[in-house]
Amino acid sequence: MSPSAAAARTMPEIAREFGLSDAEYALSLSILGREPNITELGLFSVMWSEHCSYKSSKKWLRTLPTKAPWVVCGPGENAGIVDIGGGQVAVFKMESHNHPSYIEPYQGAATGVGGILRDVFTMGARPVANLNALRFGSPDHAKTRHLVRGVVAGVGGYGNCVGVPTVGGECTFHSSNNGNNLVNAMTVGIADADRVFYSRAAGPGNPVVYVGSKTGRDGIHGATMASASFGGEVEAKRPTVQVGDPFTEKLLIEACLELMATDAIVAIQDMGAAGLTSSSFEMAGKGGLGLELDLDAVPQRETGMSAYEIMLSESQERMLMVLRQGAEDAARRIFEKWELDFAVVGRLTETGRLVLRHGGEIAADMPIAPLAEASPEYDRPWRAPAAAPMLAADAVAEMLPPPDALRKLLSCPDLASKRWVWEQYDHMVMADTVRRPGGDAAVVRIHGTDRGLAVTTDCTPRYCQADPRTGAMQAVAEVWRNLTAVGARPLAITDCLNFGSPERPEVMGQFVAGIQGIADACAALDMPVVSGNVSFYNETEGAAIQPTPQIGGVGLVDDLDRTAGMAIADGDALVLIGTTAGHLGASLYLREIVGREEGAPPPVDLAAERMHGDFVRRLIAGGRVDACHDISDGGLYVAVAEMAIAGGTGAALHLESEALPLFAVLFGEDQGRYVLGVPAATAADLVAEAATAGVPARVIGRAGGGDLTVNGDWPISVQELAAVNEAWLPAYMSGQRPEEDR
Amino acid sequence: MQAVVIVFPGSNCDRDVAVALERAAGKPPLMIWHRETDLPLADLIVLPGGFSYGDYLRAGAMAAQSPVMREVRARAGAGVPVLGICNGFQILTECGLLPGALLRNSGLAFVCRDVWLRVETADSVHTRAYRPGEVVRFPIAHHDGNFRADPDTVRALEDGDRIAFRYCNPAGEVGGGANPNGSVDDIAGILNERRNVLGLMPHPERLADPRLGGADGARMFAGLVQALA
Amino acid sequence: MKARVEITLKQGVLDPQGKAIANALEQMGFAGVAGVRQGKVIEIELAETDARRAEESVRSMCERLLANRVIEDYTVELGI
């Protein structure tokens, strides 16, 4: 709403419309010592919005492990930083753009990618990889196809143009996302360790500079939109959607990195949610300084913008910097070369106040520190989620012969190949993509070296729904396992915590349990959280999404000659690492084949997880593994089928001596397991070695031939497996129902 | 061999092709900003892939009007070899150095994947390292790679042995599902009449390093270096 | 003076976006859509006040940048 439209109402009423509670409004009065004007009220409301203040989550976020010897910078900056050796660091973060992507999928997804890229290059890093996690509603839901098409095109449209490869991600479907899809975007960058930039302002008198695109009226109150659940009137929110300009972002990356090679920059912060407001508060606040801004100097795309609109605009591709005094001209030349706006818009002061001048008047004058300090923190009531009961394998009916169940699983929406998605993403630009999308983790070479970064994003929302704590633990463990499966040493994670309304105790309980699960897993696996984002209010008319604590992980590959992929080779022995208990609760088999969504998720034994993974990583580092794949959705049978598809060769599984029902062995989703393809002659030694190390391992079959078989039966050709796996998504997307596409 | 790579605002494969050139030539190419009106002496001019000017208006249209392009045209006219990859190919058609135009892919979506190409002619400095009829694998990554030209132009390309690459299957058969973008006659790359300007949509620089899964593209750069050293 | 340029693909040049729109309209139940061609509109604000000179200048813009004459046609309207 515009200030003029608000003029007829009283300030407390407007405060409520802006999303401030009565207590928060009272607090703003006591901080200012007077009634705020409309601009100031706008600033309070966005700074104290859930999106900017983390008021419901910060009590819990503080409990996450964030330190390790290789962690250079943990949460609290634009992105987290870890040491990757060679005088370089990896900078990364994941962020949600859920609400905007539901309202306008192409632009919502595109600007999500743009925002997370800025978080990373703001710190001096060149982005080297993008990933994402996309959660859509049921394929049968009327909006789903339209959302998939728009989101995928938006992610690609932005990343492709900017020239950063999109190398990995997830894309799944569930009815709990019918009214709230999730679009989580992650960027990984690389910087020289001595060229990292932070947002803490310093040096009163130093100029504050605005660079990038001009400011328009787009996205005003986007941050508060992200802090409210959808009612019925989604359409009416459309004007707050921002439009991305990846071309300008590409220029901004190059200009910023060029300027960062000099000594001009004291501090830098991108203008993301709440635009100029949060960037100026954050920079000055961290430095304990004041800031005076001349809003007339802000480059503007539209005429007649009010101070309120300029401060709250979420126009994209903009940055705020503090420069050394005297560096303005050299900086200006760089930005002009790249055809970008550059304007000195203010100075740092010692007053500790944010003062905005506009049209010859003071548009706002408010203290910075009290606003941050008094930023509300809620200890919201929460109710521990009831644990779903364990489901014994014999309580599950075998509905289909296993080979038919395999066909059905490989073609179900969650397991079907996502080639249709990632072929729309340029995943090879920068010419360092060593392992492309479709495997456990992607690997990008650290430019100019023989080392690499492994990257992945994972979460299994159905596990989190059944047991938020175990589910969150499993998400972290699966990231760790996927990094391990390509031979990488896991370093750290970023989390993107997608939940329903924190105002409901049961949702808050899911959140609290989720945090506990992440914390336990991070501690046990020595993989701290270095950055993250919380997205609450993912619910529509009281129906919340399945809890989705999406985890993004980065690992280091010390020698690119020693990594592994999924492709088995003819003659390989197949070795199963880990313990099989036939756990079918909350499994994909149960949901897709039996039609039940119930039971506890598979337990996560973090000590075993670590022992198994460390053993596998040593084998890969020793060059003793031809192929490696972790066992996750769909269980062992699906994992081997995927390895056969990747290798273009069949495999004969021999599971005759199992005590458990065969279908539970084939489809159970027990954790901490891998399938290795190893030269057959070495298999016996390897199994003996595992036994010495206390790691369960046994030979379960052999790669070769044209068919996948189990105990000499049920042949399915590799061609059929591949065809079944590839068919669903393109067929689904071509079944166009155009009335949804508007 | 001294190569120059022209950098437009929005180019994003400039570094990739520079790496491939340096591997082949043993020395890095000169990177020239599009605003330059003077070009240093060069044995080879490369227009890299990317999204010059964001592909706004039409892919390559605004870059074709860049100050540096006047000099590129003059050099091409004087016989200096020019290589345009992806967006570089689009710029070459927009500025008239190559005939035809590149339209939106027939599938309407951006496509990034490896494709197989049949080498149609080895009679150019760019393709001399390949055998005619040989099948090579390069990646594509484009939204507007659908080559169009009027029938007379296509016939002239064909008659003049100026079709450099065609999309094919791994066995070298053109037609059918192997064409990723709807290009007329399965054309993936073409030469000018003088045979010193090559434009192609696939990216040889992306498979020019065994570490990345293949090195078919490296031979194009090696061939250029051999011819131009 | 304002100029409005309309750019369309030449007759005979395949227009996959137009084709997709036509299919979509048909599936939505709009009968009798014989064909769809997609184009673009560019509006230009000119300082020039003389209509003849303005038109000349805009045509030159079209020939040199706005339209690709290999595949596109254009029309110029002035003074809207």
At A525-567, the pLDDT tens digits run 999 999 999 999 999 998 999 999 999 999 999 999 999 999 9
* Residue C17 confidence (pLDDT): 80
Residues of B in contact with C14 (CB under 8 A): 103, 106, 146, 148, 182
Residues of C in contact with B100 (CB under 8 A): 70
Q: What are the tens digits of pLDDT across the range A627-681?
A: 999 999 999 999 999 999 999 999 999 998 888 999 999 999 999 999 999 999 9
- Pick the residue of B55, B56, B57, B93 with the most C CBs within 10 A to test the interface with C by mutation: B57
Give the angle subtended at the CA of A343 by the CAs of A337 and A346, to the nearest 5°. Answer: 150
Q: Which of B57, B65, B103 sits opposite C71 (nearest CB)?
A: B103
Domain count, chain B: 1
CA A252 to chain centre: 23
> Among A733, A739, A740, which would you mutate to test the C interface (most chain C Cβ atoms within 10 Å of its Cβ)?
A739
Residue A590 main-chain phi, psi, to 5 deg: -60, -40
Q: How many CB pairs under 8 A join B and C?
A: 37
Q: Which residues of C touch B61 (CB under 8 A)?
A: 65, 68
Task: Report pLDDT for B175.
Answer: 87
Average pLDDT per consecutive 10 residues, chain B (229 residues; last block may be shorter): 96 98 97 93 97 93 94 97 98 97 95 98 98 98 96 97 98 93 97 98 97 97 95
Listing DSSP states for A7-50 in one string gives: TTS-HHHHHHHTT--HHHHHHHHHHHTS---HHHHHHHHHHTSH
Residue A313 reports pLDDT greater than 50: yes
The type of residue at A400 is L
In Å, what is the CA distance from A148 to each residue of A168, A178, A412, A642, B124?
16, 12, 16, 24, 44
Mean pLDDT in residue range A684-697:
97
pLDDT of residue A227: 56
CA A680, distance to chain mean position in Å, is 39
Is C20 in CB contact (< 8 Å) with chain B? yes
CB distance from A427 to chain B under 8 Å? yes
pLDDT at A319 over 60: yes
The mean pLDDT of A409-429, rounded to a whole number, is 98
Kindly indicate whether the domain formed by C2-78 is annotated with CATH number 3.40.50.970.
Answer: no
Average pLDDT over residues A469-486: 98
The pLDDT of residue A551: 98
Q: Is A45 left (phi over 0), alpha (psi -120 to 50) or beta?
A: alpha
What's the rounded Cα separation, in Å, for the pair A16 and A633?
45
Question: Can you state the angle between helices A606-621 and A468-485, rounded to 10 degrees?
Answer: 10
pTM: 0.94
Q: What pLDDT does A13 receive?
A: 86
How would residue A237 be classed by pLDDT, with cut points 50, 70 and 90? very low
Does the pLDDT of residue A230 top 50, yes or no? yes
Distance CA A621, CA A494 (A): 25
Q: What is the pLDDT of residue A240?
A: 60
Mutate to test the interface with A, among C28, C30, C33 (most CBs of A within 10 A): C28
Query: How close, in Å, is residue A335 to chain C by CA atoms?
Result: 26
Q: Which residues from chain A sit within 8 angstroms of residue B205, using beta carbons?
A: 431
In terms of CA atoms, which chain A residue is nearest residue C29?
Answer: A739
- Strands B3-7, B146-148: pairing kind: unpaired
Task: Note whether B182 and B173 are within 8 A (CB).
Answer: no
Chain B residues with CB under 8 Å of A163 CB are: 12-13, 50-51
Residue partners of B36: CB distance under 8 A and separation at least 6: B67, B68, B71
Contact A470, A427 (CB under 8 A): no
Residue B176: per-residue pLDDT: 80
Residue ranges making up the domain that contains B113: 3-228
Residue A217's pLDDT band (cuts 50, 70, 90): confident
Domain CATH code at residue B147: 3.40.50.880
Q: Are A538 and A614 in contact (CB under 8 A)?
A: no
CA distance C25 to chain B (A): 17
Nearest chain A Cα distance for residue B26, angstroms: 15
What's the rounded mean pLDDT across residues A244-269?
Answer: 95
Could you tell me the residue ranges of all domains in chain C?
2-78
Phi-psi region of A76 (alpha: psi -120 to 50; beta: other; left: phi over 0): left
Mind telling me the catalytic residues of B? 86, 203, 205
Q: Is the CB of A157 inside 8 Å of chain B's CB atoms?
A: yes
Spatial CB neighbours of A201, under 8 Å, sequence gap ≥ 6 = A266, A267, A283, A284, A286, A287, A289, A291, A322, A348
A153: nearest Cα among A132, A137, A173, A172: A132
Print the SS3 string covering A520-583. HHHHHHCCCEEEEEEECCCEECCEECCCEEEEEEEEEECCCCCCCECCCCCCCEEEEECCCCCC
First to last CA, chain A: 25
Tell me: pLDDT of A221 over 90.
no
Alpha helices in A122-243 (DSSP H): 144-162, 222-225
Contacts of B53 in chain C (CB under 8 A): none
The distance of Cα A420 from the centroid of its chain, to the nearest Å, equals 20
Task: Return d(Cα A225, Cα A237) in angstroms, integer.
Answer: 8
Contact criterion met (CB < 8 Å) for A247 and B54: yes
Q: Do C16 and B105 touch (CB under 8 A)?
A: yes
Buried-state track B188-222, b at ≥16 Cβ within 10 A, e below 16: bbbbbeebbbbbbbbbbbbbbbeebbbbbbbbbbb
Measured from the Cβ of residue C43, the count of other Cβ atoms closer than 10 Å reads 10
Strand A442-445 versus strand A452-458 pairing type: antiparallel
For chain B, how many helices (H) and strands (E)? 5, 11
Residue A730 near residue A139 (C-beta atoms within 8 A): no
All residues at 6 or more sequence positions from B11 whose CB lies less than 8 Å from its CB, including other chains: B48, B49, B50, B51, B52, B87
Contact check, Cβ <8 Å, B108/C64: no
